[in-house]
Amino acid sequence: GIQVEQSPPDLILQEGANSTLRCNFSDSVNNLQWFHQNPWGQLINLFYIPSGTKQNGRLSATTVATERYSLLYISSSQTTDSGVYFCAVEQGQAGTALIFGKGTTLSVSS
């Protein structure tokens, strides 16, 4: 099956810093999404981004499908950005679902 690797596994930042999270995947995909799991366990969908670039406030994401990677940028980080960031991909054949990476744990301190 398809492999999803996220890096770095852990990231510690001071408030106000910028960061880039990476997601590599082993095969072509038709669906790629980024999620944030906050410290209370809630999973929030950040982006649906099988290709191209999207921005939402201080967050943006870029997927280069031909090179099999996606990047999540967090600018001017805040303590509320802390949590685990997951990348998930799906190849699109019938009977498949999103396969998740192991996540990047982000801690932002004030």
Minimum Å distance from CB 64 to another protein? 20
Could you give the CA distance from residue 21 to residue 37 in angstroms, rounded to a whole number? Answer: 14
Q: Which two tokens stand for residue 44?
A: 């929030």
- Selected from 17, 48, 55, 78, the binder of another protein by CB under 8 A is 48
HSE (side-chain half, CA atoms, 13 Å) at 67: 9
If the CB atoms of residues 57 and 95 are measured against another protein, the closer one turns out to be 95
Q: Which is nearer to another protein, 75 or 96 (CB)?
A: 96
Is residue 59 a contact residue for another protein (CB under 8 A)? Answer: no
Q: Quick one: 24 or 90, whose CB is closer to another protein?
A: 90
Question: Which of 66, 75, 61, 68 lies closest to 89, judged by CA?
Answer: 68
Find the binder of another protein among 23, 29, 61, 103 (CB under 8 A). Answer: 103
Single-letter code of the amino acid located at 31: N
- Are residues 110 and 16 in contact, defined by beta-carbon separation less than 8 angstroms? no
The answer to whether 6 and 87 have CB atoms below 8 angstroms apart is yes
Q: Which of residues 60-99 bind another protein (CB under 8 A)?
A: 84, 86, 88, 90, 92, 94-99
Residue numbers at the binding site for another protein (CB under 8 A): 30-31, 33, 35, 37, 41-45, 48, 84, 86, 88, 90, 92, 94-100, 102-103
